[in-house]
Amino acid sequence: MDFTSPQSEAEPNGLTALQEQVVGYFVDGVRVLGLPRSLGEIYGLLFISPDPLSLDDLVRLLGISKGSASQGLRTLRVLGAVKEAENNGDRRTYYQPSVELKPLVGGFIREQVRPHLESGKSKLRLLQDTAKETADHDDREFFLDRIGRLDSWMKRGGQVLPVLQKMLGQ
């Protein structure tokens, strides 16, 4: 038997060399974004699959648990990174990746960035109160200056996001 050719099929688990590589690519990708490995595996496999895949397909092909696949798909749906495909008469649901940058970036900003910016802003208000309550130290001036700086950072962030979104979307 000849196993030397780098042809399709029969890699470590049940993935082709190409699938394996694409999955690895996305695993690294999502790690940068601070998302769990399984999201990268799932999205990566969907990304390089000509046809939609079901939860069971993902479990079988990636060798991950049903729980992981289920939770991973949910997160990806919420992020707008996958969509359900027409499940032709089949009871189970099949998934396709969003392959345009726009929904991906949009979803990430909406779900992961904006909430943090918002909570940051409200914490900033509390901070300002605390600084004002701070006894009339010599430092008061300094504290308020620094907090003002934080405020300007937040505002700058708020201005940048839409531009970012416009540049990456479309």
Partner DNA sequence: GCCGTAGTTCAAAAAAACTTGAACAAACTT
Partner DNA sequence: AAGTTTGTTCAAGTTTTTTTGAACTACGGC
Binding positions for DNA, rule: CB under 7 A = 31, 34-38, 54-56, 63-68, 70-74, 91-93
Q: 55 or 168, CB closer to DNA? A: 55
- Span 39-68, contacts to its own copies by CB under 8 A: 47-48, 50
The DSSP result for 50-64, as a single string, is SS-EEHHHHHHHHT-
What is the residue type of 137?
H
At closest approach, how far in Å is the CB of 27 from DNA? 9
- Work out what residue 13 binds among its own copies, DNA, none; the CB cut-off runs from 5 to 8 Å by kind: none
Query: Which one of DNA, its own copies, none interacts with residue 68, CB within 5 to 8 A by kind?
Result: DNA
Q: Is the dihedral of CA 161, 164, 168, 169 positive or negative?
A: positive
Edge-first strand order for the sheet with 53-54 is 53-54, 94-97, 82-84
For residue 5, give Cα distances in angstroms to 8, 21, 24, 53. 9, 17, 21, 27
Q: Is position 32 an interface residue for its own copies (rule: CB under 8 A)? A: yes
- Per CB under 8 A, residues contacting its own copies are 6-8, 16-18, 21-22, 24-25, 28-29, 32, 34, 47-48, 50, 99, 101, 112-113, 116, 119-120, 123-124, 126-127, 130-131, 133-135, 137, 139, 142-143, 146, 149-150, 153, 156, 159-160, 163-164, 167-168
